Amino acid sequence: MQRHVSTPPKAGPVGQAAPSPAPSKAVSDASSTFTAISAVVPPAALGETVTAENDPNHFLGRPHQYMSKITFIARRIPGEQIEGYTPGSVELGGSIEAFSNAADAQARHDYIQTVTRGIPALTEYDYLHGTILIRVSRLLPPAQATDYEKAAASLP
C-alpha cells in the first residue's frame, strides 16, 4: 500500500490562512483493489459490491470492521465444484475487504484463521496486504490461489 507523507502547508500571504491540503485517499477501497488484481489474475470477475443492506455479516462500516467489501468469481473453478453455493460466497472465488487501518485488517485475518482452523469445509486462502484482506476460495489449487497473493504484493 502506498504511504502518505504529510508535508506542512505552504504559508500564504500575510493575514491569510495557509491553503488546506487536498484530501488524500489513505485507504484503498475493495473495488479499486479488485480492479487492480483482476488485471493481473484473469479470469476473475466482480461478483457483488457489499452494502449495508446486503452484508450477511452486518460488519460494513461498523467500528473495527471493513469499510468496503466486494466478492469475486474465479472462473478457473469448475462449475460442478461450485454448485449449491450462494452468490457472494467465498467459495465462488473470494472477497476483498478494506479496512481503515492495518490493525483492524490483521484482527479480521486472525479471527478468520481461528474460526476456520481444523474445519476443512471452511478453510480458505487469506492474504493480508496492509489494510486489505483478500480471501480466496479453497476450491482453487494452491498455485492458482497464490496468484492473488502475488497480485496483492504488486499493489502500490
Q: Where are the domains of the chain?
A: 30-153
Residue by residue, pLDDT tens for the chain (156 residues) are 333 333 333 333 344 333 333 333 434 899 999 999 999 998 899 999 999 999 999 999 999 999 999 999 999 999 899 999 998 999 999 999 999 999 999 999 999 999 999 898 889 999 999 999 999 999 999 999 999 999 988 887
pTM above 0.75, yes or no: yes
Residue 136 · residue 127 · CB < 8 Å:
yes
The pLDDT assigned to 24 comes to 34
Instruction: Look up residue 44 and give its three cell numbers.
Output: 476473475
